[in-house]
């Protein structure tokens, strides 16, 4: 294996680990990565997250720390906060949450007491574990009430949301999720939350980059709180942010620190600042729109090949394929596609008769392939590979999968990924 020259110290100190990193770089370079929550960060984001900012402890907030020596750290965090406020048009931003789940937990800590009712989309319908789903601490320590989608259309049932909100009077309503292929109606959720006297938390983790780039409507001014990770369509490091109006700033900040976390990960804060700097550029705007155009083109090409898509298509970066009519379970398809160099995840579909660990669907998305410069003209080919891969999965045809893998690697070689030292 050729190790990348950019990790000489790692190679000298720990060749075993360096080899694993090198192999992962190769894998990310050679494969068609369709997991909608993944992406490729830029070289600048990667560099920022590997700096000496790693060495600092800085519990507290800029100007109010429990440690000295914060001259530069305060500036870094202030820069990230200012950029988040500008990119998303919000009054307040907290860039310290370690990731999406702690960010959402902070919202609970700020606005609810244990045992209180919260309303969120059910996980099998496309929601997130931390929106009150039973196996999560949020579903064990709070009373999670869940809404879903309409059986016929696969679209969020806003009538059900309103009925549940008025009946259950939740302290918090979550909108957003992990498998929502359509535009989230933040205005409607905002109205329901106001009517029910609940705090609306818009979890935009999946679509943050689309919101930043103007390719999805913004939750501002409808949501009281906006929660997001920074590493999905936003193309930043693994981290998260909470944003709100000034009125909620104190409660959220207190919930993040000292409520839930200790020292912020300053190297991540720096990389978030860089990602937000990139997200403010016209190039990122084009990227966000290209992600959506690619997803629509891919959905159309899959429909043309007889695939069933939850909600019939997509408005964003994500496509949820129901493989029931293909008679291939989601996990079998996902594993076969992986062997063909196409990386997806198995996923439940709404009203799935199968078990979550071996569900009926696969979830795909276009953030990563768009970061590599693939355009709508390539989506019919991607759909063809998925079609051939799923068929091969059903027939146990390993040769067909190996052929696709060669074709995928060839196309990927022509589209080098940002942040990777190998082409
Ligand atoms: N697990 C993430 C996703 O893949 O959507 C959400 O937390």
Instruction: Give residues (CB < 6 A) around ligand 1.
Output: 37, 100, 128, 178
Continuous segment of H or E residues that includes residue 363: strand 361-365
User: Can you count the helices (H) and strands (E) in the chain?
Assistant: 16, 15
In a domain, 7, yes or no: no
**DSSP string computed for 314-328:** -SSSEEEEE-GGGT-
- Secondary-structure percent of the chain, ordered helix, strand, coil, rounded to 5: 50, 15, 35
Query: Model confidence over 116-136: pLDDT tens digits?
Result: 999 999 999 999 999 999 999
Please report which confidence band the pLDDT of residue 5 belongs to, taking 50, 70 and 90 as the band edges.
low
Quick one: 341 and 389 in the same domain? yes
Average pLDDT over residues 161-189: 98
Quick one: 272 and 309 in the same domain? no
Quick one: 330 and 224 in the same domain? no
pLDDT higher than threshold 60 for residue 265: yes
Give the pLDDT score at 18: 95
Token readout for 84 is 């988040």
Task: Quote the DSSP letter at residue 260.
Answer: I
Instruction: Give the whole-angstrom CA distance, residue 368 versus residue 393.
Output: 24
Token readout for 399 is 């040769």
What residue owns the CA closest to ligand 1's atom 4?
Answer: 37
Quick one: 263 and 303 in the same domain? no
Instruction: Give the whole-angstrom CA distance, residue 71 versus residue 357.
Output: 48
Give the pLDDT score at 359: 98
In a domain, 156, yes or no: yes
Give the pLDDT score at 10: 95
Average pLDDT over residues 234-260: 98
Please report which confidence band the pLDDT of residue 374 belongs to, taking 50, 70 and 90 as the band edges.
very high
Instruction: Give the whole-angstrom CA distance, residue 93 versus residue 129.
Output: 23
CA 43 to ligand 1 centroid distance, Å: 23
- Note the Cα 253 to chain centre separation in Å: 23
Task: Quote the DSSP letter at residue 228.
Answer: E
pLDDT higher than threshold 90 for residue 41: yes
**Whether the predicted model's global pTM rises above the 0.95 cut:** yes
332 is an active site residue? no
Instruction: Give the whole-angstrom CA distance, residue 319 versus residue 313.
Output: 7
Quick one: 164 and 57 in the same domain? yes
Q: Considering 252, 279, 306, which residue would you say is the last residue of a domain?
A: 279
Quick one: 347 and 393 in the same domain? yes
Query: Model confidence over 339-348: pLDDT tens digits?
Result: 999 999 999 9
pLDDT higher than threshold 80 for residue 194: yes
Cα maximum dimension of the chain? 64
Mutation probe of ligand 1 site: the residue of 205, 317, 364 with most atoms within 8 A of C-beta? 205
pLDDT higher than threshold 50 for residue 2: no
Give the pLDDT score at 422: 59
Q: Phi and psi for 220 in degrees, rounded to 5? A: -80, 130
**Average pLDDT along the chain:** 97
Task: Quote the DSSP letter at residue 6.
Answer: T
Give the pLDDT score at 107: 98
229 is an active site residue? yes
Please report which confidence band the pLDDT of residue 1 belongs to, taking 50, 70 and 90 as the band edges.
very low
Query: Looking at residue 75, which CATH number applies to its domain?
Result: 3.40.640.10
Please report which confidence band the pLDDT of residue 3 belongs to, taking 50, 70 and 90 as the band edges.
very low
* Structural domain that includes position 181: 48-279
Number of domains in the chain: 2
372 is an active site residue? no
Quick one: 217 and 321 in the same domain? no
Please report which confidence band the pLDDT of residue 420 belongs to, taking 50, 70 and 90 as the band edges.
confident
Q: Phi and psi for 7 in degrees, rounded to 5? A: -120, 50
31 is an active site residue? no
Q: Considering 244, 279, 314, which residue would you say is the last residue of a domain?
A: 279
Q: How far is CA 344 from CA 158, 159, 361, in A?
A: 29, 32, 10
In a domain, 220, yes or no: yes
Q: Considering 260, 279, 298, which residue would you say is the last residue of a domain?
A: 279
Quick one: 130 and 206 in the same domain? yes
- Specify the ligand 1 atom closest to the Cα of 35: 4
């Amino acid at each position: 294996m050729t190790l990348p020259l950019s990790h000489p110290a790692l190679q000298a100190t720990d060749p075993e680990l360096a080899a694993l990193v090198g192999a992962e770089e190769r894998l990310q370079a050679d494969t068609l990565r369709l997991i909608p929550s993944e992406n490729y960060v830029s070289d600048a984001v990667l560099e920022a997250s590997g700096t000496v900012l790693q060495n600092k402890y800085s519990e507290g907030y800029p100007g109010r720390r429990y440690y000295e020596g914060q001259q530069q750290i305060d500036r870094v965090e202030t820069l990230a906060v200012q950029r988040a406020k500008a990119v998303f048009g919000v009054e307040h931003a907290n860039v310290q949450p370690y990731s999406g789940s702690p960010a959402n937990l902070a919202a609970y800590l700020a606005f609810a007491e244990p045992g209180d009712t919260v309303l969120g989309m059910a996980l099998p319908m496309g929601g997130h574990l931390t929106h009150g789903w039973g196996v999560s601490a949020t579903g064990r320590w709070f009373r999670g009430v869940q809404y879903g989608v309409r059986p016929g259309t696969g679209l969020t049932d806003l009538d059900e949301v309103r009925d549940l909100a008025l009946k259950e009077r939740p302290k918090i309503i979550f909108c957003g999720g992990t498998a929502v292929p359509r535009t989230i109606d933040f205005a409607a959720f905002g109205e329901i939350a106001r009517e029910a006297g609940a705090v609306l938390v818009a979890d935009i983790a999946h679509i943050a980059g689309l919101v930043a780039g103007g390719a999805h409507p913004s939750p501002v001014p409808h949501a009281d709180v906006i929660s997001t990770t920074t590493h999905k369509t936003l193309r930043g490091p693994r981290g998260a942010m909470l944003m709100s109006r000034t009125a909620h700033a104190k409660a959220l900040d207190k919930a993040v620190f000292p409520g839930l976390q200790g020292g912020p990960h300053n190297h991540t804060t720096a990389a978030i600042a860089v990602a937000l700097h990139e997200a403010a550029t016209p190039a990122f705007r084009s990227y966000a729109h290209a992600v959506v155009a690619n997803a629509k083109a891919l959905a159309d090409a899959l429909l043309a090949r007889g695939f069933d898509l939850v909600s019939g298509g997509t408005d964003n970066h994500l496509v949820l394929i129901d493989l029931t009519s293909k008679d291939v379970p989601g996990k079998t398809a996902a594993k076969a596609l992986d062997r063909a160099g196409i990386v997806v995840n198995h996923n439940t579909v709404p009203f799935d008769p199968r078990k979550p660990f071996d569900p009926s669907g696969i979830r795909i998305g276009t953030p990563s392939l768009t970061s590599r410069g693939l355009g709508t003209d390539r989506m019919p080919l991607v759909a063809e590979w998925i079609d051939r891969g799923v068929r091969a999965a059903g027939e146990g045809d390993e040769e067909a999968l190996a052929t696709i893998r060669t074709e995928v690697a060839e196309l990927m070689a022509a589209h080098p990924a940002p942040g990777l030292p190998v082409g």
